[in-house]
Amino acid sequence: MAKPVVAVVGRPNVGKSTIFNRIIGDRLSIVEDKPGITRDRIYGQAEWRDIPFHIIDTGGIEISDEYILKSIRAQAELAIEEADVIVFMVDGKAGITPSDSEVAELLFKSRKPVVLAVNKVDNIKRMDDIYEFYSLGFGDPIAISGAHGLGIGDLLDAVVEHFPEITDDEYDEDVIRVAIIGRPNVGKSSMVNALLGEDRVIVSDQAGTTRDAVDTPFERDGQRYVIIDTAGMRKRGKVYENVEKYSVLRAMKAIERADVVLVVINGEEGIIEQDKHIAGFAHEAGKAAIFVVNKWDVVEKDDKTLHQFSQKIRDHFLFMTYAPILFVSAKTGQRLHKLLPLVNEVAEQHSLRIPTHVLNDVVADAVAINPPPRDKGRRLKINYATQIGVKPPTFVFFVNSPELMHFSYERYLENKIRAAFQFSGTPIRLWMRRKSDQE
């Protein structure tokens, strides 16, 4: 199920990045005392009151003819469009500025829930600074201090109150949900059309012309599927710089709902950093995955090209060696007939359960062949292992001391499990627990 999305918006230099970093507990944003330094939207994940959510840090909004500020305004507009709840940040020391009023007008038009946060209220003596902000029309302002961490809990309480009700996915368990992800113009929409045999989504050579995310149910050879097509830009006709940055959040939301993720790569252009970023999110989310290299028909090639490109994928995506690779052309239909059978295979592996006695036979053989190394005179002892979940397959190892499990030995055990049971196309999770923790 997709997590709620919170966008932090406001004019430059009101402290949005500081608050963002406090909420996610990590310094992902550049924090510098200079207006407009946060150039791009940054995405993070956080949790409050046991509710996980996405959070977007935007560049400041400024009504100006300066190019960089126009760009930042565009970023914020898109963040507003993506968000379920908006945190509107203002500066308690500076008071209401004309730019704040412009931002307020933009937010009113969005018709989204807005929580007004007055930053830089560093002590009780400054509480009177918040009252003028009632005139912005967003109800009770919440006094916070990013520098000192004051009021953040009150702010998040207010934000969570506005979250939409989270409901379970509407599709049956036997439906395979497939997310097609990738940066703009890799051919995602063309691939959907080719699989369905009809033009269900807009296709254009210009990046970002898909108008919205579309769920497309269909059936093939008795198996039901839903394609979750990650759209490009919602608003056609608007031109944003660095358009590929805007597809990240929508890809995240699609991945969360999927069973199988098709990571589409443009065979003509090769691999770029954003491909790794999006694929990494699928891996972290524990989804089954397939690398689909599209536009293979236009690639100049010889008998070594396919192998060399495959090796590049393996080199760039070291964390996803389990994901199969398929070279296709949505335009000509080349190898597309292999895609759905491969989806079926990795979906089955993603849901595979291993009987406990069979798993422990494999683990025992692995330990006999290569016993755990000693650490300061102590040796890891594995009592037994059991599978506790699927999607992805998740295993718990009950051991004498979890801290003795070195990552290299954990990787060895994973490789042995994969060698025995395949688990093609799916990550697997290994957890270590002290033997007494089971009680």
Annotated binding site: 10-17, 57-61, 119-122, 182-189, 229-233, 294-297
What Å distances lie between residue 319 and 193, 207, 212, 295, 313, CA to CA?
Answer: 30, 28, 30, 25, 11
Residue 10 burial class via C-beta count within 10 angstroms: exposed 0-12, middle 13-18, buried 19 and up: buried
CB-CB contact of 54 with 4 (8 Å): yes
Residue 200 one-letter amino acid: R
Integer Cα distance of 33 and 377 in angstroms: 52
Confirm if 101 and 136 have CB atoms less than 8 A apart.
yes
In the annotated binding site for GTP, the residues are 10-17, 57-61, 119-122, 182-189, 229-233, 294-297
Write out the E strands in 342-393. 374-375, 378-379, 382-389
Q: 407 CB contacts (<8 Å, ≥6 apart)?
A: none
**Angle subtended at Cα 113 by Cα 111 and Cα 119, rounded to the nearest 5 degrees:** 120
CB 5 within 8 A of CB 54: yes
Residue 60: Cβ within 10 Å count: 24
Contacts of residues 412-420 at CB distance under 8 Å and 24 or more positions apart, as own/partner, are: 412/366, 412/370, 413/363, 413/366, 416/362, 416/363, 416/365, 416/366, 417/359, 417/362, 417/363, 418/322, 420/362
| Residues 19/144, Cβ–Cβ less than 8 Å | yes
The torsion angles phi and psi of 309, rounded to 5 degrees, stand at -70, -40
Residue 182's contacts (CB-CB under 8 Å, 6 or more residues apart) are 188, 230, 251, 262, 263, 264, 265, 266, 275, 278
Neighbouring residues of 81: CB distance < 8 A, sequence distance ≥ 6: 110, 234, 235
